[in-house]
Amino acid sequence: MSTYDPEKAAQIHRDLHTHLPPDPALRVKTLESLVVERGLVQPEIVDAWVEAYSEHIGPKRGAQVVARAWTDPEFKARLMADASEAIKDFGFEGHATGHLKAIENTDTQHNLVVCTLCSCYPFSILGMSPAWYKSSEYRARAVREPRKVLAEFGVTLAKDVSVRAWDSTAEVRYIVIPQRPAGTEGWDQDRLAAIVSRNSMIGTDRDLDTGGE
């Protein structure tokens, strides 16, 4: 049976009526109002960023790049030579993709992307990074024991497939170009893009699902 605790009840009553945002929200609001007031940033740019990454920019951008690389050898050559330049075809350059490098999975090599320092990620083509990418566990283990990490994501590599972990930095970000699955011959780019998962472009997914076709 629960007991009545007058102090607890009073606290709940106070909490319900304060309307105070949580501590981190207040810290952000404090900083934002100070930097805006000094003219260090324009509030419209901050608001546009929030809208873009909440509503518009996601991993389907990267999927389009991969699908084109699969079907257009000339584009693929440019992508592998200089991904930052090549993605300008789509208008996807920007936020943290100034030095983008595309790395290709093959029958004998699998690529895995991590940022061991913090959370560097090619936001403008993959959108916000998933929570696990930012976790200290993934950041620590992706380089130390990549096969084990991959197994936890459901990716079991044959013994003759080597794994290379690519450590992102503020200067260089990576996108993995997964292998095009068999049975997708003749598919157009939109249909191909639909099967490219976000994780496959980070490297925590390998064999793409073609939907049983």
Q: Which residues are catalytic?
A: 115, 118-120
Site string for other proteins, 148-187 (x = CB under 8 A): ---------------------xxx----------------
Residue 84's contacts (CB-CB under 8 Å, 6 or more residues apart) are 93, 97, 98, 99, 100
List the structure tokens of 68: 């084109």
Residue 170's contacts (CB-CB under 8 Å, 6 or more residues apart) are 120
Q: Between 42 and 162, name the residue whose CB sits nearer to other proteins.
A: 42
Asked whether position 35 contacts other proteins by CB under 8 A, the answer is: yes
Dihedral sign for Cα 168, 172, 178, 184, please. positive
> Which stretches does DSSP call E strand in 36-183?
100-104, 109-114, 162-167, 173-177
Region of 109 (left: φ > 0; alpha: ψ -120 to 50; beta: rest) is: beta
Coil, helix or strand at residue 136: helix
Residue among 165, 153, 152, 161 nearest 197 (CA): 153
Asked whether position 147 contacts other proteins by CB under 8 A, the answer is: no
Check if the beta carbon of residue 92 is closer than 8 Å to that of residue 124: yes
Q: Between 67 and 110, name the residue whose CB sits nearer to other proteins.
A: 67
Asked whether position 14 contacts other proteins by CB under 8 A, the answer is: no
Q: Is 120 annotated as a binding residue?
A: yes
Q: Which stretch binds other proteins (CB under 8 A): 128-136, 143-151, 153-161, 176-184?
A: 128-136
Q: How far apart are CA 12 and CA 2, in angstroms?
A: 16
Q: How far apart are CA 162 and CA 171, in angstroms?
A: 26
Rg (CA), the chain: 22
Q: How many residues bind other proteins (CB under 8 A)?
A: 53
Q: Which stretch binds other proteins (CB under 8 A): 73-81, 102-110, 135-143, 149-157?
A: 135-143
Q: Between 46 and 81, name the residue whose CB sits nearer to other proteins.
A: 46
Q: Is 124 annotated as a binding residue?
A: no
Q: Which stretch binds other proteins (CB under 8 A): 65-73, 75-83, 130-138, 154-162?
A: 130-138
Q: What is the 8-class DSSP label of residue 77?
A: H
Q: Is 118 annotated as a binding residue?
A: yes
Asked whether position 144 contacts other proteins by CB under 8 A, the answer is: no
Q: Between 100 and 110, name the residue whose CB sits nearer to other proteins.
A: 100
Asked whether position 40 contacts other proteins by CB under 8 A, the answer is: yes
Q: Which residues bind other proteins (CB under 8 A)?
A: 18-22, 24-35, 38, 40-42, 45-47, 49-51, 53-61, 64, 95-96, 117-120, 127-128, 131, 134-137, 169-171
